[in-house]
Every structure is written in C-alpha cells, then in structure tokens.
Amino acid sequence: MNGHHYAIEYGPSAVDDLDRLPVRERAQILRKIERLRHGLQGDLKRLHQADAMYRLRLGDYRVLFDVTGAVIVIRRVGNRKDVYD
C-alpha cells in the first residue's frame, strides 16, 4: 500500500475526539495523520475484530482508521486506555 496517495476523511467520532484533545497533542496527531496521505507508514498495525481496520500508535495516543480504495477514514483518536471502548 505504500507509495499510494490517499485522501483523508474524518468520521464524526474522530472529530469529537480531536476537539477534546489538548492543543499541542492535537497538532502533533494531525501532522502524523497528514503523513498518511503519502502512504501507510509509521507505527501501524492491522486490527482484527475491531471497529477499524488499522491502528496508528503515537506515544500514548492511538488513531483508528479504515482504508477504502484511496480514502483513509479516521474513526477514533484518543488515549490508548480509552480509544478501543
């Protein structure tokens, strides 16, 4: 999948999650999400039996997302303790 260019969309839960984050963490997470446009890279893991297909790890935070064709849909963003609930 690397080498592809992706569009990024945010689901309603992800938007709410991002709004609740401290400004500094939100900015760092958004920069990492933007890098996904240029290919699936970083500390990624394919998830099994979860609401999202992939997990991006960013310190104590996780970004859960799906990939459909050339579109990445961000589903959830949050602390690793809470994001899978």
Within a domain: residue 13? yes
Tell me phi and psi for residue 22, to 5 degrees.
Answer: -60, 150
Contact between 70 and 4 under an 8 Å Cβ cutoff? The reply is: yes
> pLDDT 10s digit of each residue in the chain, 85 long?
456 799 999 999 999 999 999 999 999 999 999 999 998 888 888 887 666 689 999 999 999 999 988 999 999 999 988 887 7
Within a domain: residue 84? no
Q: Which residues contact 71 (CB under 8 A, 6 or more apart)?
A: 6, 7, 8, 9
What domain range includes position 67?
A: 7-78
Q: Number of folded domains in the chain? A: 1
Look at residue 1 in the predicted model and tell me its pLDDT.
47
Residue type, 49: Q
Query: The domain that contains 14 carries what CATH number?
Result: 3.30.2310.20
